[in-house]
């Protein structure tokens, strides 16, 4: 009971603060306090920053990454021109190194655009059919885009118009849902660094993949903070 009260007290400032910038500062401060032995930037390695054993396994795996084939396939798809001769590189700057800029708020449409939506927008604009959300192609393309975006810090802009979308996302993050009736914040804030079965729960401030499903781990290549 007392512990729950304390947690509520710790979280209250986060729930109460207004505005993305103040929220980000409070979110950082939360993890700085929770993990005083980590530099804040250490969290770009997600759960691997909090679990030395897993970190070693991950570094060993990175010598021959099992997701490499999916990245290669994604690159092939990215470089293949559309029927009209245009290509993805005509839609995405920096030869596709743009993962860290998504999701974006599209002010003209009044909607949040994810990278997956932007890939399909690019296709539609060039007379191609959109890809299914659960298709290998879309997973491979976005895995490739994530891969070439490595080492860029996540840089999401929240313009004033996006306030409602931002508030909805924040509400979602702190609301209980699902079979376990947990909020994202329960696992990735209050229980971050702890074990859930064999998994170490990553700190919400830094996770290596920001899309759920992918091609056999292809997604878990981007670093975020
Ligand atoms: C019951 C606990 C639990 C809840 C609730 C939960 N997660 Fe997770 N999540 C995990 C576990 C376990 C992993 C795998 C270990 C890790 O990387 O944290 C994970 C992984 C992730 C990752 C990948 C991390 C990385 O570095 O690749 C993201 C992103 C993520 N969760 C976001 C969310 C979001 C957003 C929500 C709310 C919609 C959420 N999680 C709710 C347990 C949870």
Looking at residue 7, its pLDDT comes to: 52
Average pLDDT of the chain?
87
User: Does a structural domain hold residue 20?
Assistant: no
Residue 22: per-residue pLDDT: 94
Is residue 68 pLDDT above 60, yes or no? yes
Question: How high is the pLDDT of residue 206?
Answer: 87
pTM above 0.75, yes or no: yes
Range with lowest mean pLDDT among 7-11, 20-24, 153-157: 7-11
Q: Is 26 among the domain residues?
A: no
CA 201 to ligand 1 center in whole angstroms: 7
Whether the pLDDT of residue 101 is over 50: the answer is: yes
Check residue 214 and give its pLDDT: 29
Answer whether residue 110 shows pLDDT above 70.
yes
* Domain presence at residue 101: yes
Residue 189 lies in a domain: yes
Assign residue 212 the CATH number of its domain: 1.10.760.10
Is residue 121 one of the residues assigned to a domain?
yes
- Is 120 among the domain residues? yes
Looking at residues 82-104, what average pLDDT do you find?
96
Q: b/e for 8-30, b at 16 or more Cβ within 10 A? A: eeebeebeeeeebeebeeebeeb
State the distance from the centre of ligand 1 to the C-alpha of 109, rounded, in angstroms: 30
Alpha-carbon distance 100 to 224, whole Å? 8
Q: State residue 218's pLDDT score.
A: 31
Q: Which domain holds residue 221?
A: 67-225
What is the tens place of the pLDDT at every residue in 123-152?
A: 999 999 999 999 999 999 999 999 999 888
Q: What is the per-residue pLDDT for 17?
A: 53
What is the reported pLDDT for 154?
86
Angstrom distances, CA of residue 87 to CA of 72, 122, 129, 182: 17, 9, 14, 42
Domain total for the chain? 1
Ligand 1, atom nearest to 202 Cα: 18
Is position 125 within any domain?
yes
Would residue 171 count as lying in a domain?
yes
Confidence tier at 212 by pLDDT (50, 70, 90): very low
Which protein residue has the closest C-alpha to ligand 1 atom 36?
184
pLDDT at res. 122 = 98
pLDDT in tens, 153-210: 888 999 999 999 999 999 999 999 999 999 999 999 999 999 999 999 999 998 876 4
- Residue of 48, 188, 199 to test ligand 1 pocket, by largest number of atoms within 8 Å of CB: 188
Give burial (CB, 10 Å; 0-12/13-18/19+) of 195: exposed
Residue 14 has pLDDT above 60, yes or no: no
Ligand 1: which residues within 6 Å by Cβ?
Answer: 46-47, 180, 182, 184, 186-188, 196, 199, 201-202, 207-210, 220
């Amino acid at each position: 009971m007392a512990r729950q009260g304390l947690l509520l007290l710790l979280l209250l400032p986060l729930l109460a603060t207004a505005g993305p910038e103040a929220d980000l500062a409070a979110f950082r401060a939360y993890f700085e306090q929770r993990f005083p032995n980590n530099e804040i930037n250490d969290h770009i390695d997600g759960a691997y920053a909090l679990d030395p054993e897993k970190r070693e396994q991950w570094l060993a795996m990175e010598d021959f990454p099992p997701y490499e084939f999916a990245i290669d396939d994604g690159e092939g798809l990215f470089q293949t021109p559309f029927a009209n001769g245009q290509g993805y590189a005509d839609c995405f700057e920096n030869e596709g190194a743009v993962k860290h800029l998504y999701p974006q708020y599209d002010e003209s449409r009044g909607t949040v655009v994810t990278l997956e939506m932007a890939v399909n927008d690019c296709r539609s604009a060039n007379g191609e059919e959109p890809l299914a959300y659960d298709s290998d192609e879309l997973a491979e393309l976005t895995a490739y885009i994530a891969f070439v975006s490595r080492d860029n810090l996540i840089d999401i802009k929240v313009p004033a118009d996006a306030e409602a979308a931002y508030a909805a996302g924040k509400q979602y993050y702190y609301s209980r849902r699902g079979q376990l009736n947990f909020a994202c914040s329960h696992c990735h804030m209050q229980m971050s660094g702890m074990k859930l079965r064999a998994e170490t729960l990553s700190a919400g401030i830094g996770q290596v993949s920001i899309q759920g499903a992918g091609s056999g781990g292809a997604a878990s290549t981007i670093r975020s903070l």
